[in-house]
């Protein structure tokens, strides 16, 4: 499409439009998820992404291409994260960590393979088709995508929820306790998603603090993760190799998540990983300027990979952590708001990457400082490990009220385990 020489600014314009679509898509699909259900939101996002992705391969107009890229951007987060959120509302306490591991592993494997698919094809149009066509599988097999039983209960649609839960029990070869649906229904009948707006996240003090802190964390983590990804090509190595290594290096983060968050909880792994990412970035400042260029490049690359691992831990855990902190009646719109704040961080990442023109490791330093802020802010959040998840706004406000700042599940039987909850909801972290 002649995006070179005098037109070399066009790719950046197209990327900006993609980011705008991402921001708006978070809002629109969050509203759809809470108002019409998780299932319609997921299927619609896959349909739009598939059509727009394949369509972009056949356009010759810059303006048409950007319109299609806008729609791809609008669906990129809902289609990747909403299925995980739906799973979270079904999966039991002992399996939730496994779900995020599987979800993350798929992303890592394809991220490592994709550069070599592009290298082999040498045709961006074919790449668009190959990466977009598989998305059609979800709409085609959409009848196998269940609605969220928790969401149905918040809508007062008890019969549908009970039917789904009985189906789940039958498939898992479990007995369905008849009083289960009654207890859940009575608990969730207090308010419905239709009675709430995203502003309800900010009407009560504790829920407001949690929402603001989570918004800051999402903004910084999205910004730093994409800064690290985009900066891989500026570290003096082959772009295909750099992107592949930076993808594969995320695998150790999955083992840390697998064995860490069910022992240490959610809060401390986020805080420690953010601290490690910050230290990895600040080490750049003490690298001697007299270091030979080749050694400096190797050091920058090593620190970048360390930072990638630790930021990936935060990136994955914070999504589960946020979904567990937000009450069911606001979960879809609450996550949409947090994703919006995250996508705003995307707009900042290219400017941080541009600092590499001054010093190759400078983007790592900036990311390090920002991640230190995340480490500090995280300690103000309550722990969710082994806690019943909130369904109503009232439960969201009371969540973690009796916890202490330094509570850690692995250290002692803390106040986290003694919160009064005489009639707990169905979900448990």
DSSP state, residue 176: P
Distance CA 218, CA 381 (A): 14
Distance of CA 337 to the CA centre of its chain: 12
- Of the pLDDT bands very low, low, confident and very high (cuts 50, 70, 90), residue 179 is low
Instruction: Write down the pLDDT at residue 8.
Output: 58
As a whole number of angstroms, the distance between CA 255 and CA 108 comes to 13
Give the length of the chain: 429
φ, ψ dihedrals at 156, nearest 5°: 75, 15
Largest CA distance in the chain: 73
When pLDDT is averaged across residues 412-428 and rounded to a whole number, the result is: 45
Residue 104 CA to residue 347 CA, distance in Å, equals 24
> What's the mean pLDDT in 310-328?
89
Task: Work out whether the CA dihedral 253, 254, 256, 261 comes out positive or negative.
Answer: positive
The residue behind tokens 């009970």 is 162
Q: Which residues pair with 428 in a beta bridge?
A: 388
Give the residue among 392, 331, 389 at the shortest CA–CA distance from 204.
Answer: 392
Of the listed ranges 56-65, 177-186, 205-214, the least confidently predicted one is 177-186
Q: What are phi and psi of 224, to 5 degrees?
A: -70, -35
Residue 361 and residue 305 in contact, taking contact as beta carbons nearer than 8 Å:
no
Contact 51, 136 (CB under 8 A): no
Residue of 165, 157, 127, 191 lying closest to 37 (CA atoms): 157
| Lowest mean per-residue pLDDT among 32-36, 156-160, 409-413 | 409-413
Average pLDDT over residues 248-264: 82
Cβ-based neighbour number of residue 144 at 10 Å: 7
Residues 6+ apart with CB under 8 A from 200: 207, 330, 393
Q: Which helix (H) or strand (E) holds 88?
A: helix 62-88
What is the percentage of the chain residues whose pLDDT exceeds 70?
83
Residue range 1-20: average pLDDT? 70
SS3 423: coil
What confidence score (pLDDT) does residue 422 get? Answer: 37
From the list 404, 176, 138, 410, the residue with the least C-alpha distance to 272 is 410
Answer for the pair 340, 280: CB distance below 8 angstroms, yes or no.
Answer: no
Least confident interval from 143-157, 277-291, 355-369: 277-291
Residue 261 vs residues 257, 264, 408, 416: alpha-carbon distances, Å: 6, 5, 11, 15
Of 247, 250, 249, 382, nearest to 316 by C-alpha is 250
Across the range 225-231, mean pLDDT stands at 85
Q: How confident is the model at residue 418 (pLDDT cuts 50, 70, 90)?
A: very low
pLDDT digits (tens, 9 = 90+) for 264-275: 888 899 999 999
- pTM of the shown model: 0.77
Per-residue pLDDT tens over the stretch 369-378: 999 999 999 9
Alpha-carbon torsion, ordered 65, 40, 191, 24, to 10 deg: 0
Mean pLDDT score across all residues of the chain = 81
More confident of the two residues 393 and 97: 393
DSSP, res 32: H
- Mean pLDDT of the 272-296 span: 78
Q: What share of the chain is helix, strand, coil (3-state, %, to 5)?
A: 75, 0, 25
The CA distances from residue 188 to 15, 43, 143, 152, 209, in Å, are: 42, 26, 26, 10, 24
Token representation of residue 224: 């730093």
């Amino acid at each position: 499409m002649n995006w070179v020489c005098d037109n070399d600014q066009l790719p950046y314009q197209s990327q900006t439009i993609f980011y705008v679509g991402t921001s708006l898509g978070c809002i629109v699909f969050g509203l759809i998820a809470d108002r019409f259900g998780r299932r319609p939101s997921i299927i619609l996002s896959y349909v739009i992404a598939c059509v727009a992705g394949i369509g972009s391969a056949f356009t010759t107009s810059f303006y048409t291409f950007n319109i299609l890229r806008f729609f791809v951007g609008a669906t990129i987060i809902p289609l990747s994260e909403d299925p995980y959120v739906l799973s979270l509302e079904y999966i039991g306490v002992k399996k939730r960590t496994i779900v995020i591991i599987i979800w993350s592993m798929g992303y890592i494997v394809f991220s490592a393979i994709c550069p070599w698919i592009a290298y082999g094809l040498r045709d961006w149009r074919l790449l668009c088709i190959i990466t977009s066509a598989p998305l059609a599988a979800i709409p085609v097999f959409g009848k196998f995508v269940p609605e969220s039983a928790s969401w149905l209960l918040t809508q007062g649609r008890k019969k549908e929820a009970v039917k789904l839960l009985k189906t789940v029990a039958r498939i898992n070869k479990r007995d369905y306790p008849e009083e289960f649906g009654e207890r859940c229904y009575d608990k969730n009948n207090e308010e419905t998603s239709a009675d709430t707006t995203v502003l309800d996240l900010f009407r009560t003090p504790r829920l407001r603090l949690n929402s603001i802190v989570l918004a800051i964390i999402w903004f910084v983590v999205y910004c730093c993760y994409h800064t690290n990804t985009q900066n891989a090509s500026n570290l003096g190595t082959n772009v295909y190799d750099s992107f592949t290594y930076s993808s594969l290096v995320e695998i150790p983060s999955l083992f840390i998540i697998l064995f860490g968050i069910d022992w240490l909880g959610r809060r401390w792994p986020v805080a420690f990983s953010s601290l490690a990412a910050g230290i990895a970035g600040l080490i750049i400042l003490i690298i001697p300027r007299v270091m030979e260029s080749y050694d400096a490049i190797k050091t920058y690359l090593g620190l970048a990979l360390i930072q990638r691992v630790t930021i990936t831990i935060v990136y994955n855990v914070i999504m589960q952590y946020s979904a567990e902190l937000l009450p069911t009646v606001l979960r879809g719109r609450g996550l949409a708001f947090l994703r919006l704040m995250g996508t705003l961080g995307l707009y900042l990442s290219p400017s941080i990457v541009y600092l590499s023109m001054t010093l190759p490791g400078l983007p790592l330093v900036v990311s390090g400082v920002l991640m230190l802020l995340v480490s500090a802010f995280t300690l103000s959040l309550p722990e969710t490990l082994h806690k019943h998840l909130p369904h109503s706004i009232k439960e969201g406000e009371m969540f973690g009220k009796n916890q202490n700042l330094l509570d850690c599940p692995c250290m002692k039987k803390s106040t986290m385990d003694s919160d009064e909850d005489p009639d707990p909801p169905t979900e448990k972290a």
